[in-house]
Amino acid sequence: MNQVIGASVSRKDGQAKVTGTAIYSAEHQIPDLIYGCLVTATIASGRIRAIDTREAEQASGAIAVFTHRNAPQVFNPNENISRLSESRLPLSDDRVHYAGQIIGLAVADTFERAREAAHLVRVEYEPQAPIVEANKATYVPAPQWLGEDLTYEQIDVNTGNVTTVLASAATQIEAVYTTSMELHAPMEPHAIITHWQSPDMVTIYEPTQAVLMSQRTYADLLGLPTERVRIVSTYIGGAFGCKFLPWPHSILCAAAARELNRPLKVVVSRRQMTANTGHRSETEQTLRLGALADGKLQAIEHTAKSITSPLEDFPEACTIITPAMYAAPNMRLSQELAVMNVGSPTFMRAPGECPGMWALESAMDELAWSLNIDPIQLRLINQTDQHQRKNLPFSAKYFAECLEVGAKQFGWQDRPLQVRSLTRDGKLVGLGMASTTFPGYRGSTSAKVRLLPDGTAHVMSAGNDMGTGAYTVVAMTAAETLGIAVDKIRVELGDSTLPDGGVAGGSQMTASLTPAVKLACEAVLRQAQAQSAQQASEQLKQSGRAAFEATASAAPGEELEKFAFQSWGAHFCELTVDEAIGRVQITRWVSVINAGRILNAKTAASQIRGGVIMGIGTALMEEGHFDPNTGYPVVYDLATYHYPTHADIPRIDVTFIGEPDFNFNPMGVRGIGEIGINGVSAAIANAIYHATGKRIRSLPITPDKIISV
Ligand code: MOS
């Protein structure tokens, strides 16, 4: 039977979410719950000379105030076990490394009283001048990069002789591209409830993209056997990378709850989140491309700079994507990192790749104009069937098909080939395109399937759904394999008591988890020795047996030595520019993607649309800065941090080539969570160039840049 996979199925969790019955981490009702409010530093660098908690402790309803002088016990992390967003443990000393760093936790019997107590903590600082401006920071070669598959990768490449070849190339492009600090800004703030049922057993309700990894980390830090920590992460209201690994507030909450022996909730306020739960660093990239007159690249030099905190080495690995995208006999890629007094940056949707593709795909457009070659043609000439750093062939690529289908749908060939040649309603009109690509990651997972006498089945895994549609594709996989309707499948995810479901990072949940679900379903059918699930359920009914149940695991294997797995696509953008007021409005969008077999046409298209919308934010609006005096982020909520609303977004047409990649896994599926955002800002800047003749190399492209360039 093959009718479920590929269909458009509405989210299984959709109704619960829109009717408010889905319970998010902070919403669990636990008797005797108490509330913590974070106290955060108001200087960006220095130390705490004195901290006076007496008034806070006397406030009505106050239960405790934790500072570095009475920090609750946390064990030093074992670096083979714990994975943290920020290496320094909370409240570990009197040092302040960035504005907004957690320096205390006030606990009370209600949230309002906890907040009041937090405001009553008096702090005297010994401040130092912070470094919060990128042009004053000191850059050094970046360390190895912890990729979204959570292995370390060396990102620098140096082949051939870039300097000589660039100097003698027929055509050369050299340009500097910048991006701004960006926030994840998920709808659901970071929130945690920790409930110690006994001195050696804790349940942690927290949105996390990596359930079992987080379980191991908490166990390590709290000095417990792993199985004495239970993580519950049933629903996540958006994560985008910032909920990958535990942050200091989470660790502090777990440790304080143990000391107080009461269930404790900590919600990070929207304002606090702009400082201490991660962001994407600003970047500065220099691209040098040398090409022959026919467009063939002879040399690529791509250097990138990003900023990290004093507490974590996290480079924004912009150059990681370049050797996958294009080939050139001479290639030099390097990455530099500088420390500033800012919160720790972290993974954010297509970390590295998103700003990397902005620079690379802008530079390719500049090269296409200077050579007078169609930008699609330039990409076809230079794309490669072999990953230039991994030296492995790509599996099921179909990039050329993406370009071809997109160009046709969009009407690319009909565009005028001059800048400033199209107008509509008194505005300039521009068309632009860019490529997109993202690696195919896959991890080890397990799933348990239970078939019941009533003809329904229950699928269980600790893997989670951060809003991407995992509940639905897991149900579809089981429905297809068992041959029963999707609505007869109940899916339980996001609980560490269930089999390890891997991580929802690097767009890998579907490719990792659905193969295990498929195997577990097949094992159930084998166990029943039945032709169909229906027949097996019938057997159960007659025999009085409760269920057929099987657990299966799936993991990547030797295919990783034979292929480079990567998804591909192209974006096409039409926009209008009102030069008088600097306003850019996107009017049409076409994205064509090949990400292997598509399991759920509806939620997959939504993932791409979400990526494009986030990319439009990156291109035109999203921007965080630090106040040069205080070091505080000058954006502090969803009003000061601008991102797109419905009025900013046109219809987004998404087409999948859908060519299965059975080299990658038995489902033939690669990830779709991140590929949508890559290349979006370049497609927009390229269209703005076509509309106006102005090449803008700094994001976001706010009205002032349109007016002044
Ligand atoms: Mo990642 S940025 O959590 O897929």
Are residues 86 and 150 part of one domain?
A: no
Give the residue among 11, 59, 67 at the shortest CA–CA distance from 38: 67
Cβ–Cβ < 8 Å for 299, 333: no
**Per-residue pLDDT for 154 more than 80?**
no
Q: Read off the pLDDT band of 255 (50, 70, 90).
A: very high
pLDDT in tens, 504-551: 999 999 999 999 999 999 999 999 998 899 999 999 999 999 999 999
65 within some domain: yes
Domain contains 201: yes
526 in the same domain as 662: no
Cα(279) to centroid(ligand 1), Å: 12
- Is 510 in the same domain as 550? yes
Residues 477 and 398 in one domain: no
Ligand 1 centre and the CA of 583: distance in Å?
31
Whether 674 is a known active-site residue: answer yes
Which of the listed residues 240, 279, 464 should we mutate to test ligand 1's pocket, taking the one with most ligand atoms within 8 A of CB? 240
Task: State yes or no: pLDDT of 1 exceeds 50.
Answer: no
CA dist 7 and 175 (Å) reads 44
C-alpha to C-alpha distance for 43 and 39, rounded to whole angstroms: 12
Ligand 1 mean position, distance from CA 186 (Å):
13
Q: What angle do CA 669, 572, 611 make, to 5 degrees?
A: 50
Cα separation, 218 vs 196, in Å, equals 13
**What distance in Å separates the CA atoms of residue 133 and residue 602, rounded to the nearest whole number?**
43
Residue 13 lies in a domain: no
Residue identifier of the C-alpha nearest atom 3 of ligand 1: 241
Out of 184, 213, 244, give the residue to mutate to test ligand 1, the one with the largest number of ligand atoms within 8 Å of its CB. Answer: 244
Tokens linked to 524 = 């159930």
Last residue of a domain, one of 537, 555, 573: 555
Mean pLDDT of 140-145: 88
User: Model confidence over 425-453: pLDDT tens digits?
Assistant: 999 999 999 999 999 999 999 999 999 99
- pLDDT of 2 reads 53
- Does residue 18 fall inside a structural domain? no
Exactly one of 148, 206, 282, 674 is catalytic; which is it? 674
Pair (623, 670) in one structural domain: yes
Question: Is position 692 within any domain?
Answer: yes
157 and 284 inside one domain: yes
Q: Which of 148, 280, 354, 675 to mutate to test the pocket of ligand 1 (most atoms within 8 A of CB)?
A: 148
Per-residue pLDDT at 709:
55
- Looking at the structure, tell me whether residues 65 and 165 fall in a common domain: no
314 lines ligand 1 (CB under 6 A): no
How do residues 94-123 score in pLDDT, each as one tens digit?
Answer: 999 999 999 999 999 999 999 999 999 999
Contacts of 502 (CB under 8 A, 6+ apart): 443, 444, 445, 463, 508, 509, 512, 513
Query: Which of 490, 521, 555 represents a domain boundary (last residue)?
Result: 555
Nearest-atom index, ligand 1, CA of 148? 1
Q: Is 347 in the pocket of ligand 1 (CB under 6 A)?
A: yes
Asked if 53 contacts 104 with a C-beta cutoff of 8 angstroms, the reply is yes
- Say if residue 37 is in the same domain as residue 173: no
Give the closest residue to 212 by CA, choosing from 494, 468, 513.
494
CA of 439 from ligand 1 middle (Å) equals 12
Give me the number of domains the chain comprises.
3
In the chain, % helix, strand, coil (3-state, to 5) comes to: 30, 25, 45
pLDDT grade, residue 150 (50/70/90)? Answer: confident
Looking at the fold, whether 527 and 486 belong to one and the same domain comes out as yes
* Contacts for 310 with CB less than 8 Å, ≥ 6 apart: 97, 98, 339, 341
Listed in sequence order, the residues at least 6 apart from 443 whose beta carbon sits closer than 8 Å to its beta carbon are 149, 502, 503, 508, 512, 555, 556
- Residue 15 sits at φ, ψ, to 5 deg, of -65, -45
Q: How far apart are CA 98 and CA 338, in angstroms?
A: 14
Based on the domain organization, do 340 and 402 belong to the same domain?
A: yes
Give me ligand 1 centre to Cα 372, in Å: 37
In a domain, 268, yes or no: yes
List, for residues 312-354, the tens digit of each pLDDT value: 999 999 999 999 999 999 999 999 999 999 999 999 999 999 9
Whether 21 maps to a domain, the answer reads: no
Residues 198 and 451: their CA atoms lie apart, in Å, by: 34
Whether residue 571 is predicted with pLDDT greater than 50 in this model: the reply is yes
Residue 671 beta carbon below 6 angstroms from any ligand 1 atom: no
The answer to whether the CB of 155 is under 6 A from ligand 1 is no
656 and 572 within one domain: yes
Handedness of CA 18, 350, 384, 440 (dihedral sign): negative
Decide: 209 in ligand 1 pocket, CB within 6 A: yes
Q: Is 310 in the pocket of ligand 1 (CB under 6 A)?
A: no
pLDDT reported for residue 34: 98
23 Cα: distance to centroid of ligand 1 (angstroms): 23
243 lines ligand 1 (CB under 6 A): no
Q: Is 60 inside any structural domain? A: yes
What would the DSSP string read from start to end of 590-631? EEEEE-BS-S-HHHHHHHHHHHHHHHHHHHHT--B-B-TTT-
CA angle 572, 574, 577 (to 5 degrees): 145
Q: Which of 243, 247, 346, 349 to mutate to test the pocket of ligand 1 (most atoms within 8 A of CB)?
A: 349
CATH of the domain at 456: 3.30.365.10
Same-domain check for residues 418 and 541: no
Q: Which atom of ligand 1 is nearest to the CA of 507?
A: 4
- Mean of all residue pLDDT scores within the chain: 96
Q: What is the CATH number of the domain that holds 215?
A: 3.90.1170.50
Q: Specify burial of residue 507 (Cβ count, 10 A radius: 0-12, 13-18, 19+).
A: buried
505 close to ligand 1 (CB < 6 Angstrom): yes
Q: What region, left, alpha or beta, does residue 537 occupy, with left being phi > 0 and alpha being psi -120 to 50 degrees?
A: alpha
Residue 393 DSSP label:
B
Residue 349 CA to ligand 1 centre (angstroms): 5
pLDDT in tens, 653-686: 999 999 999 999 999 999 999 999 999 999 999 9
Question: Model-level pTM?
Answer: 0.97
Spatial distance between the Cα atoms of 119 and 34, rounded to a whole number of angstroms: 17
Using H for helix, E for strand and C for coil, what is the string for 448-471?
A: EEEECCCCCEEEECCCCCCCCCHH
Q: Give the pLDDT of residue 147.
A: 77
Q: Is there an atom of ligand 1 within 6 Å of 244 CB?
A: yes
The answer to whether residues 625 and 633 touch, using CB atoms and an 8 Å cutoff, is yes
State both tokens at 699.
């994001």
**What's the CA-to-centroid distance between 495 and ligand 1, angstroms?**
20
Q: What is the pLDDT of residues 232-252, one digit of tens each?
A: 999 999 999 999 999 999 999
The rounded percent of the chain whose pLDDT value lies above 90 is 96
- Structural domain including 547 reads 443-555
Domain end call among 555, 572, 596: 555
